[in-house]
Amino acid sequence: MSVLIYDSGIGGLSVLREARILMPEFKFVYVADGAVFPIGGWEEEALVAHLLGLFDDLVARHNPQMIIIACNTASTIILPHLRERFDMPVVGTVPAIKLAAEVTASRQISVLATPGTVQRDYTRSLIAEFASQVNVRLVGAEDLARLAEDFMLSGQIDTKAVNKEIRDCFVDRLGARTDVVVLACTHYPFLTNVFRRLAPWPVDWLNPAEAIARHAQSRLPQGGAVKDVQDIAEFTGGEPTPQMRRLLSGFGLKVI
């Protein structure tokens, strides 16, 4: 039994890590779609066409029991298409705006996302439905996903560049400071410790990975199987670099 986990890069490894804990009996096929990275700059029509073609191929070859879209930008546009096309659960990743609105004390929250996620009507509809009584700042980070990938691969980080990307998250309005930042890209949790060092005051950085994995677990039958094969990773857009292969091997993935 297998589960497909898709991301435009390697940020979805944060979701894979949590999913393995909750669903150890499943084989995971991790798809890093480098052909569209960074995904935030793609036109919607072209992205939908690319993703539908890709998933037609992936589903035909792997026959998964579930698809997890571990990418906020892709989820905001592709989920209805995949659910109509395939007879299996399709779990997406959406900004944790509802949770942020529930836990904020200052009623000042920020959503840190790619420009594509910030611009989607879906994101604004979540705010209207779940956060109409709090102040929400949408922060479109142009380069943060790439900075996170570079950090994961090299261990090096340009803190000035990261600070430039996150500084608009922090609002001090008449003494009411931002106290929750939604990490609306699966790449971002890998930089949480960097964010904490750079933040002008402490905030709650909401990582959606565990919630995504728990929702996926609830949609699949549990027990009765023992995984006897290694999890694998696939790439689009060319051969992965040696650094990428080492990273994925460290996550227990065999690159095919």
Q: What is the pLDDT at residue 26?
A: 92
Angle (CA) 201 206 212, round 5°: 170
Question: What is the pTM for the complete model shown?
Answer: 0.85
Boundaries of every domain in the chain: 2-93+210-255, 97-207
Residues written for the chain = 256
d(CA 58, CA 28): 13
Q: What is the pLDDT at residue 159?
A: 96
CATH code of the region 97-207: 3.40.50.1860
Chain CA centroid to CA 110, Å: 17
CA within 13 Å, CB half, 22: 19
CA within 13 Å, CB half, 19: 33
Q: What is the pLDDT at residue 156?
A: 92
d(CA 9, CA 112): 18
CATH 3.40.50.1860 fits 2-93+210-255, yes or no: yes
Nearest residue to 112 via CA among 162, 41, 150: 162
Q: What is the pLDDT at residue 181?
A: 98
Cis geometry, peptide bond prior to residue 89 (ω within 30 degrees of 0):
no
Q: What is the pLDDT at residue 175?
A: 85
User: Mind listing the pLDDT tens digit of every residue in the chain (256 residues)?
Assistant: 899 999 988 889 999 999 999 999 999 999 999 888 777 667 888 889 999 999 999 999 999 999 999 988 888 889 999 999 999 999 998 889 999 999 999 999 999 998 888 888 888 999 999 999 999 999 999 899 889 989 998 999 999 999 999 999 999 988 899 999 999 988 899 999 999 999 999 999 998 888 899 999 999 877 656 666 889 999 998 888 888 889 989 999 988 8
Is residue 33 packed enough to be buried (19+ CB in 10 Å), middle (13-18) or exposed (0-12)? buried
- The arrangement of strands across the sheet holding 180-183 comes to 135-140, 108-113, 180-183, 204-206
**Contact between residue 116 and residue 144 where contact means Cβ atoms under 8 Å apart:** no
d(CA 215, CA 15): 11
CA within 13 Å, CB half, 113: 30
One fold for both 2-93+210-255 and 97-207? yes
Catalytic residue IDs: 71, 185
Tokens 């994101």, located at residue: 123
